[in-house]
Amino acid sequence: MAYRVTFIPGDGTGPELAQATKRVLDATGVDFDWDVQEAGVDVMKEVGTPLPESTIESILTNKVGIKGPITTPVGTGFRSVNVALRKACNLYACVRPCKYYEGVRTKYKDVNLVYIRENTEDLYAGIEYEEGTPDNLRLIEFIKETHPDASLGPRTGISIKPISVESSERIVRYAFEYARDNGRKKVTAVHKANIMKFTDGLFLAVATEVAKNYPDIEFEERIVDNMCMQLVQKPELYDVIVLPNLYGDVLSDLGAGLVGGLGVAPGANIGTEAALFEPTHGSAPKYAGLNKVNPMAMMLSGVMMLKYLKEAEAADLMESAIADIIREGTSVTYDMKPDRDDPTALGTAEVATAVIERMKELGA
């Protein structure tokens, strides 16, 4: 049986990374029927939107997809294709493993974290009011009435942070179920409830209540700023970390830094009806077409997809081959070399070829 999978190349370096990953996935022996769809700045020039409705429909129909990175404009324009996809497909759980692979240059050797990030609300809900607009001014007047000491004027921008019981319960339950299904021992809820008592306070209260249903899994909570320090000082003490949207975005990048950078940081966005797999890093448009960017993060996202499809043997084979290539350090891109100017560094496509050859040696 072939798996019908939505395949989104993305933009910038996305198409190169996506093609390299597709080749490796095909080489595992799993039968894929790729449904190629477009999203990003390139397709926007053609159809007037970076996220065509056909792409959303494809993911909802096929129930699983994998995508290359997509450029998000800074400060202006379309808010984010990634955020829009998560909302449109109700992909409420962002799962980002941060695992050390031997051969990666980092002083942290004992790291195997999984971040479970709530995907649908918090400040990323995008409820913002621009300075000087009528809605913004009405909000300013309301805030002044309830908080007379607030220093707000017409040049103030306002962003609203919704946190709900339903979404908090759903993501925390997902984190505990993930821990149980994957042999993990502890879940840590991260918050700022000491300051934001009605939003983060609600998240913490819900997490504490949900934890009572999982007596086999240790539960603890950490304030977000302390958690940053803890992760830098002793990451080996942590296991599964569940967070609201913004903290999850920030701390998962910190986790990637612990294990060597975004080049080895895969990710998944999972909902009740569909799942979409993608690397954590961005599209790096300045490197587009140069066959230079590290494909490991997207390949590891492919490993996550295989696990999601219950193709455990293929997932283990692909991850083992990737781990071998990283450990040996010869068939890798420039960023994984001790000397970034090392002339023996391979290109994106050549790394894919090396992984495929290693899979053959391991028994693909």
DSSP, collapsed to helix, strand or coil, labels residue 355 as: helix
Rg (Cα) of the chain, in Å, rounded? Answer: 21
* Block residue for tokens 């140069």: 290
- Among 225, 234, 342, 360, which one carries the catalytic annotation? 225
Tell me if residue 225 is catalytic.
yes
| Residue 109 annotated to the active site | no
> In the chain, which ranges are continuous DSSP H helix?
14-27, 41-47, 53-62, 81-88, 134-146, 165-181, 200-211, 224-233, 245-258, 296-308, 312-328, 348-362
Considering 192, 200, 247, 307, which one is annotated as catalytic? 192
Asked if 249 contacts 116 with a C-beta cutoff of 8 angstroms, the reply is: no
Based on the residue annotation, tell me whether 216 is a catalytic residue of this protein: no
| Main-chain phi, psi angles of 183, to 5 degrees | 65, 30
Query: Under the phi-then-psi rule, with left for phi > 0, alpha for psi from -120 to 50, and beta for the rest, what region is 73?
Result: beta
Distance CA 337, CA 354 (A): 16
**Exposed / middle / buried, residue 214 (Cβ in 10 Å: 0-12, 13-18, 19+):** middle
Residues 92, 115, 124, 129: which is the catalytic one? Answer: 124
Marked catalytic residue, from 11, 42, 249, 324: 249
Two tokens, residue 137: 């001014």
Is 341 an annotated catalytic residue? no
Residues labelled catalytic: 124, 192, 225, 249
